[in-house]
Amino acid sequence: MNHTFDEPVDVAVIGFGPVGATLAALLGRRGRRVAVFDKSDQIYPLPRAFALDHEAMRTFQELGIAGALATHMTPYRPTIYQGADGKPIQHFDMGPSPYPLAWAPSYTFNQPALELSLRRAVGEMPSVSVHLGHEVVSADQADQDGEYATLSVQAPDGAPAQVRARYVVACDGGTSPMRKRLGLGMKSLEFDEPWIVVDMHVNEDMLDCLPATNIQYCDPARPCTYVVGPGTHRRWEFLLLPHEAAHREMPHDAIWALLSPWLAPHQARIWRAATYRFHAVVLEQWRQQRVLLAGDAAHQMPPFLAQGMCQGLRDALNLAWKLDWVLRGEAPDALLDSYGTERGPQVEDTTQTVKRLGLIICERDAERATERDRGLRAQQGGEVRMQLRQSLLPGVRHGLIEDEHGASGTPFPQAVGRIGQQGAAQMMDDLLPHGFLLFLRDPPSREQFGRLAAGLRALHATAVCLGDAGNLEDLVCLAEADGVIARWFDKQGCGAALVRPDHVVYGVAADPDGAQALLERARIKLRQ
């Protein structure tokens, strides 16, 4: 017997992994009606993704789960690349605090714990329904009115059902059945290497015997990665040699042979071991009519910058506010085209950086590895210097930004501070409304602020200034405790910044009068 969900939803999300759950939660916080479908009825119990960055933590802060994650993550350790001679050739770290987004730039974490926190957050949202054990088996792009996509869903008892949705977002993984049904192609970014990833729980008395930092062993005989996780969790990744690459699984005795320089079998237990092809691909077309793709369904990259899941979370944050604006009638459907316009090049830029690191790591020729080491050390003046890991990540270069300034398309900083003089200092995002924000370095005059009013209303934007603005109504005064925004303005040489709901800088202006024109240009571009 066919069953049709009683009411259509705003968005149907296919896949309830970290990206799908984050998107559902972001939409749910905006009051959108969301239905989530996942063919599995439980969380995958083993670790896969292993690292989060500060942009991901800022998203989890918005969802109210950052505190719950604290016991399941640890700041990312410095990473040392060791050359063929065992000596450093590169050094990456996060730099000193205060951090620009308030969170440490990188963390390692426990993925099952993260997914549990996300699902609990989604479960508290009355406008979001979750349907586990339900597999989406087909999708029709338009119903008879042309306003909805129709999904055919198979319930756990085998009964078919249908759901209508204004938009569908497929977060259904690297093998994405939805991507295949739509015939959407993936562009190869020309990287393909076989590796085995081994997650270990190490006996506590052995933790101090292992390296305290993350190490990338760029040994041409066997490239290997070692990463420190939270608690007793440690991860090793080994490049597979040609005679090993064809096997889907590696026997435990062979895994222990790989681990023998660090551990014996009685000193740890294998939590998970999985072979992968580390490859780089990205969608050629991110949207087909009412269906959009996100996460691994849209892109995959090697793990050398720990950005795989983080990029999927950027997809969710980019897409959530745009779907909300379109569904509210504040912007035309064409706004959703900017999702792929922005994310496609950003993912490709990130992947090119990852590939560059991968070519350093995966060099198998001993002579070329020696030359590689010599060249990298020479580039640093003969002394290996610390590089900021977060400086390797590109911003948005196309789409809904003004690209005349280098700050455009990058994350706006998050200060720690207070509104007014009362209360303890908090992270800025917890103090301000979610939406467009116009930041002003200096308090405007009453006349200047009055001229901004129409532009602020058009974008439903909140104006924020540093310092005391007197008694100007509707102007939020932020007293920051760490000076990160003041330093940002000094570095960028501007006096105003328009920030999108996903914390991305739309554009900057010299002063409040320039901000008036900036608001008007954003209004026009947003509604084109």
Q: Is residue 230 included in any domain, yes or no?
A: no
Show which of 290, 325, 342 is a domain's final residue.
342
In a domain, 10, yes or no: yes
| CATH code of the domain in which 288 resides | 3.50.50.60
Type of residue numbered 368: R
Residue 334 lies in a domain: yes
In the numeric block, the tokens 């756990």 are attached to 156
CA 159 to chain centre: 36
| Residues 6 or more apart whose Cβ sits within 8 Å of residue 4 | 161, 162, 163, 164
Residue type, 11: V
In a domain, 430, yes or no: yes
Classify residue 249 by its DSSP letter: S
Residue 453: CATH number of its domain: 3.40.30.10
For residue 47, give its domain range.
3-73+107-186+282-342
Instruction: Please give the full DSSP string across 370-429, using - where no structure is assigned.
Output: HHHHHHHHHHTTTS--EEEGGGG-----SSSS-TTSTTTTSBPP--EEEETT-S--EEGG
Choose one of 301, 322, 342: the last residue of a domain.
342
Residues 420 and 305 placed together within one structural domain of the fold: no
Are residues 438 and 299 located together in one domain of the fold? no
In a domain, 253, yes or no: no
Residue 237 inside a domain? The answer is no
Q: Does residue 292 lie in a domain region?
A: yes
Judge if 120 and 14 occupy the same domain.
Answer: yes
312 sits in which H/E element: helix 308-327
Q: What gap in Å lies between CA 44 and CA 244, rounded to an integer? A: 27
Q: What is the pLDDT along the chain (528 residues), one digit of tens a residue?
A: 345 577 899 999 999 999 999 999 999 999 999 999 999 999 999 999 999 999 999 999 999 999 999 999 999 999 999 999 999 999 999 989 999 999 999 999 999 999 999 999 999 999 999 999 999 998 887 655 678 999 999 988 888 889 999 999 999 999 999 999 999 999 998 888 899 999 999 999 999 999 999 999 999 999 999 999 999 999 999 999 988 877 778 899 999 999 999 999 999 999 999 998 888 999 999 999 999 999 999 999 998 888 999 999 999 999 999 999 999 999 999 999 999 999 999 999 999 999 999 999 999 999 999 999 999 999 999 899 999 988 999 999 999 999 878 899 999 999 999 987 767 899 999 999 999 999 999 999 999 999 999 999 999 999 999 988 777 888 999 999 999 999 999 999 999 999 999 999 999 999 999 999 999 999 999 988
Contacts of 317 (CB under 8 A, 6+ apart): 22, 26, 55, 59, 502, 503
How many domains, the chain?
A: 2
Domain end among 342, 362, 379: 342
Assess whether the previous peptide bond of 156 is cis (omega < 30° from 0). Answer: no
Q: Within this chain, do residues 173 and 297 fall inside the same structural domain, yes or no?
A: yes
Has residue 273 been placed in a domain?
A: no
User: Are 337 and 440 contained in the same domain?
Assistant: no
Run of H or E including 356: helix 337-361
Quick one: 424 and 522 in the same domain? yes
Q: Is residue 321 domain-shared with residue 421, that is, in the same domain? A: no
> Are 30 and 116 in the same domain?
yes
